[in-house]
Structure 1
Amino acid sequence: MTSLLIKVLIFSAILPLLSFAKNGSKSQSNSCFCKLQGEVDDCSCKVENLDSLNNKKIYPILKSLLQRDYFRYFKVNLMKPCPFWSDDSRCALKDCHVQSCSEDQVPEGLKANGNGNPKEINKYSEEAQKEPENCDQERELSALDRTISAERLEAFKNWTRHDDKQETFCEIDDDNTPDCQYVDLLLNPERYTGYKGASPHRIWNSIYEENCFKPEGTVYGSKKALAGSLEGLCLEQRAFYRLISGLHTSINLHLCNEYLYPSKNLLSAPEFKPNTEEFIKRFDPKATKGQGPQRLKNLYFTYLVELRALVKAAPYLEEEDFFTGNPEEERDVKEGVKDLLKVIKSFPDHFDESNLFKGDPKVAKKLKTEFREHFRNISRIMDCVGCDKCKLWGKLQVQGMGTALKILFSGDSIGLQSTVNANHKQKFQLRRSEIVSLVNAFGRLSSSIHTIEKFRKLTS
C-alpha cells in the first residue's frame, strides 16, 4: 500500500513537468502574439480588422497580380559600391558574388546610350551573429538566378523606350548604367540565404543607431536605444521608427517562413519551409528583451502607411498603361490592379498622413527635411548589403516604401482626399520601377501578415 502511494506521488510530481514540456513551446509562442490586438499605435485601425482585410481579400489578389510580367521583372543595380564603408563582408559577399553579363550579352535596348534612359544588429538571436560555416552553400543560396529568355529581353527594348517618355521624380537606380539590369523576382524569392554575422550586424546597426530618430539623451548603443524606446519622440519620429521596424519585422518573417533545412543526403535538395523555433527566437518576449511582440505590431503600422499610399495613388494607377507590349497581359494587369484598389478603397480606417508635419511651418519643414534625409540614407545603406538576393529585396522594399512616402506627401495638399491624380501627370510621375517596387513592397507586407496567421496555427 505504501509502495503504491509512493508511485502515485511520484507520478503526480512528474505529470506537471511532462505537461510543461509538451505545452511550454505553445505558451512561449503564444506570448509572441500578445500585442496583436486592438488599435495599431498612432492609428485608429484595429489589428483584427487588418488581419481580416488582408488575409481574406488583399493577399489573394496580390498573390495573383505579382505573378504578372509587369510586376515580376524589376530593374536594379546590384553593382553599386557601399558609400559608407569598404567591403569586408567576407563570405557573405566575397565568395557569393554574381558575375554580370558581358557587354555583348546585354541587349541594346537595355544599355545606356544616346537615346536616353533605357537597434537591431539582428538583435533577435545570438546564433544569427555567428559567421556562416559553409561559404559554398551560402554562395549557392545567395546567388541570383539571372535567367531571362531572349524573347523577354527583346520585349524589354520596347519597355525601355516607353519609360524614356516618362519623367522621374525620385532618386532611383540610374537606368543609363549597364550595371542596372532586369531581375526576375519569381526566380529569386525572398528567403533565408545564410547571410548573417558581421555584415548584416553592421547594416541594421547603422540603420537603427545612426539613421532612426532617438529620444533626447539616448546614447547610440545603449540599452534604451537597442530596446527601441519611443518615449519623448514626436509623432513624426515615432512614425519613422515604426516604419523601419515594421519593414525589419516583415523581412524576418519571410526568413522564418522560408527557412533553409539542409538536404538529408547527397541526392536530395535542401528544403525551404516554416521554422517555428526561429520565429519564437526572433519574436518571443523573453528572447527579445520584451520587444518581439511590439515588432510584430509595428508591421501593421507599416502596412497601413503603404495601404494609404495605394489609396491616394488610385486615380493615377487606374489610368496607368502597365505597358509590356502584350495587350492581353496589360488588360489582365489593369483588371487586377482595379480589383485590388476597389478592395483597398472600401476599407474605412486608413492611416491619416495629414496628422504629420503640422504646427509651426518652420519646425515642420525642418522635421520633414530630416525625415527625408534619414530615409535617403537608409536607401543608400542597402547598397552595403553583402548578399545579392538580400540586397535585391532590400532595395526593392526600401524603394517601395520611399515611393509610398513620395505619394503621401506629393500633390496640392495633404489630406484624406487623393491629390495624386492621373490628370496631374505633368506635376506628378511614377516610373515603372517605382510602381513595381510599391506594389511588390506592399505584397511583402501582405505576405508577412498572412505568415503571422500561419505561425499562430503552427504554434497553437
Structure 2
Amino acid sequence: MAVTHSIRIFVVVTLFCFSSAYFGTEPKRNDHCFCQLKGSIDECGCSVDTVDHFNNKKIYPRLKSLLQKDYFRFYKVNLKRECPFWADDSRCAMRYCHVEPCLEEDIPPGLKGRHLRELPFEEDMSVKYTESVQAEDCEVDHDDDLGYLNTTISAAAYEEFARWKEHDDALDNFCDINSDDDDAQYVDLSLNPERYTGYKGKSAHRIWNSIYKENCFRPKNSFNSYIASSKLNGMCLEKRVFYRVISGLHASINIHLCSNYLLSEKSTLSFDSVTGQWGPNLEEFLLRFDPRKTEGEGPQWLRNLYFLYLLELRALVKAAPYLEREEYYTGNDQEDEDVRQAVKDILRVVRSFPEHFNESVMFTGGSQARKLKEEFRQHFRNISHIMDCVGCEKCKLWGKLQVHGLGTALKILFSGKFDGVDPTGADLSHMAKSQFQLHRSEIVALLNAFGRLSTSIYEIERFRGMMR
C-alpha cells in the first residue's frame, strides 16, 4: 500500500510539473482575478470566504426558489419614459433587447388594481367619505340652528392629499422609479431574464460615465470613470460607501452579462427563425476583472460587490419585522402561504449571519452630516433617472429593478423610518403599518436586487472553478 501511495504522489507531481512547463505561466494566471479577493471586506469585519459559504450554501438556493413565485416574478415598471439628460438616439435594434410586457390575463388577480390590504389605512378613505355612505351612517348631518355642515371630501382635495403624500415620500425615497405611471406595465421577469443582449459601445459607456463622473463623490484630481482604490481612503466614510455601492452594482451587472453571454445564434424551423444560446464566457469575465486588463482594479471591483451584498443583507435584517408581517397577496391562497413561510425562513437565515454592515456609524455629526445625507440621497435619485437613458429595453428593465431595490435598501437603512424597529422580530402589532410603509414594488425590487447580488457571488465561484 505504501508503494502504491508513493507512485500516486509521483504521478500527481509529475503531471503538475508537466502542465506548468507546457502552459508556461498559465497556473499563475488562475490566481490573477482571485488572489486579491481574500481576507476582510472593506468597511466591514467579515471575510470574503465567510460570505461565499453563507451565500452559496444558505441564501442562494432559497432565493432562487422564492423569486420564481408569482409575487416576485411580476414587476410593474415604466420603460417608456424619455431620457431627461440627453437626446436618446441609441435604441438597441437587436431582437434580444426587446421586453415583452404581460397580457392582462397573465397577471395574477391579486396584483390587478390596488388591493385594500396594501393600503396604509384601515379602510379606503375615498369610499368612507362619499355622500351616499355618510347618508347611511347618519340620520341627519346638519343642525337647523347651526346651519348645514358638509363633511364630504372632494375629488380635488383627494388629489391634493395625494400630492402631499408624494412630497412626504420623496423626502425618504432614494430613487424615482414611478411604477404607478400610466405607462407602467407588468413584466414577467422569468420570461425576460437578465443577460448579454449585444448592447454595448458609446451608449452603454455614456450611462456608466455619467453615473461615475457626475453622480459619485470624487477625490481631487480623479479623472477616470472609476476611482482608483488607492485614492478612496482620502474620502470620508459616507462618500466611500456611495462609491463602493455603485461599483459593486456595476460589478454585479457585469458578472450577469458574463455568465449569460450570447455564445451563438442558430437557425430553427419555428416562426422565430433565429434563437440564441447563452452561457458563461470566461474570456469576457477576464476582460472585465483581470487586474492586468483593468489597471489592477478588477479584484477591488469584485470586493465592492461583496460590500454591496452585506449592505443589502443588513437592510433585510432591519426590515425583517415588517417583511414578516406582509401578506404577499396574489390571489393564490396556497402559493401565498408558501411565500410567507419561505420569506420567514430566509429572514431567519439572514439574521443568523454573524457580522452585518453597521449603518449607525454613518451620517453622524449634526448639520453637516444632514447636508451630506441629503447629497447622498439626491445623487442616488439622479442615478435612478439615468436608468431611463439606457438604450436597451431589457438592460433598462434590470437596471431600473436593481437600482429600485438598492434605493429601497438605502431607504430602510437611512431614512429613519425603520429606526427603533427591533430586528430580532419583536411584536409589532402595536405599531401602525403606515409608520414604516413599503409598497409592493419596493418589496419585489428589494428581494430581486438582493437575488441578483446573490447570483453574482454564486457565479464567481463557477468562474473560479472554470479557471482552475
Answer whether TM exceeds 0.5 for this pair: yes
Deviates more, 1:24-33 or 1:336-345: 24-33
Q: Distance in 2 between matches of 1:154 and 1:307?
A: 31
Q: Which runs of 5+ in 2 are unaligned?
A: 1-15, 122-164
Task: Indicate the SS of the match to 2:187.
Answer: strand
1:449 to 440, 449, 457: 457
**1:330 pairs with 2:336:** yes
Q: Displacement, 1:409?
A: 1.7
Aligned to 2:112: 157
2:359 to 353, 356, 377: 353
Q: Displacement, 1:79?
A: 0.5
Matched residue type, 1:284: D
Task: Indicate the SS of the match to 2:43.
Answer: coil
Deviates more, 1:160-169 or 1:271-280: 160-169
2:232 to 230, 234, 239: 230
**1:36 pairs with 2:37:** yes
CA offset digits 1:54-94 (Å, max 9, x no partner): 000000000000000000000000001111111121xxx1x
Q: Distance in 2 between matches of 1:81 and 1:25?
A: 48
Matched residue type, 1:382: M
From the superposition, tell whether residues 76 and 248 of structure 1 become closer, same or farther in structure 2 (CA, over 3 Å): same
Q: Displacement, 1:270?
A: 2.2
**1:279 pairs with 2:293:** no
Paired residues in the alignment total 397
* TM value normalised by structure 2: 0.79
Q: What is the 5 A alignment of 1:174-193?
A: 174-193=178-197
Aligned to 1:437: 445
Q: Distance in 1 between matches of 2:230 and 2:381?
A: 21
From the superposition, tell whether residues 151 and 437 of structure 1 become closer, same or farther in structure 2 (CA, over 3 Å): closer
Aligned to 1:297: 303
Matched residue type, 1:79: K
Q: Which runs of 5+ in 1 are unaligned?
A: 1-14, 97-134
Aligned to 2:221: 218
Q: Distance in 2 between matches of 1:311 and 1:17?
A: 51
CA offset digits 1:11-34 (Å, max 9, x no partner): xxxx99984663645532421012
CA offset digits 1:109-135 (Å, max 9, x no partner): xxxxxxxxxxxxxxxxxxxxxxxxxx5
Q: Displacement, 1:37?
A: 1.4
Task: Indicate the SS of the match to 2:45.
Answer: coil
**1:143 pairs with 2:126:** no
Q: Distance in 2 between matches of 1:406 and 1:419?
A: 19
Task: Indicate the SS of the match to 1:74.
Answer: strand
From the superposition, tell whether residues 264 and 19 of structure 1 become closer, same or farther in structure 2 (CA, over 3 Å): farther
From the superposition, tell whether residues 425 and 415 of structure 1 become closer, same or farther in structure 2 (CA, over 3 Å): closer
Q: Distance in 2 between matches of 1:283 and 1:151?
A: 40
Aligned to 1:206: 210
Matched residue type, 2:221: T
Do the aligned residues in 2 keep the contact of 1:352 with 1:416 (CA within 8 Å)? no
Matched residue type, 1:61: R
Q: Distance in 1 between matches of 2:61 and 2:34?
A: 23
From the superposition, tell whether residues 313 and 292 of structure 1 become closer, same or farther in structure 2 (CA, over 3 Å): same
Task: Indicate the SS of the match to 2:325.
Answer: coil
Q: Distance in 1 between matches of 2:27 and 2:284?
A: 14
Percent of aligned pairs with the same residue?
Answer: 55
Q: Distance in 2 between matches of 1:290 and 1:241?
A: 17
Deviates more, 1:367-376 or 1:162-171: 162-171
Aligned to 2:72: 71
Deviates more, 1:227-236 or 1:364-373: 227-236
Aligned to 1:379: 384
Do the aligned residues in 1 keep the contact of 2:108 with 2:331 (CA within 8 Å)? no
Which of structures 1 and 2 has the bigger CA Rg? 2
Q: Distance in 2 between matches of 1:241 and 1:247?
A: 10
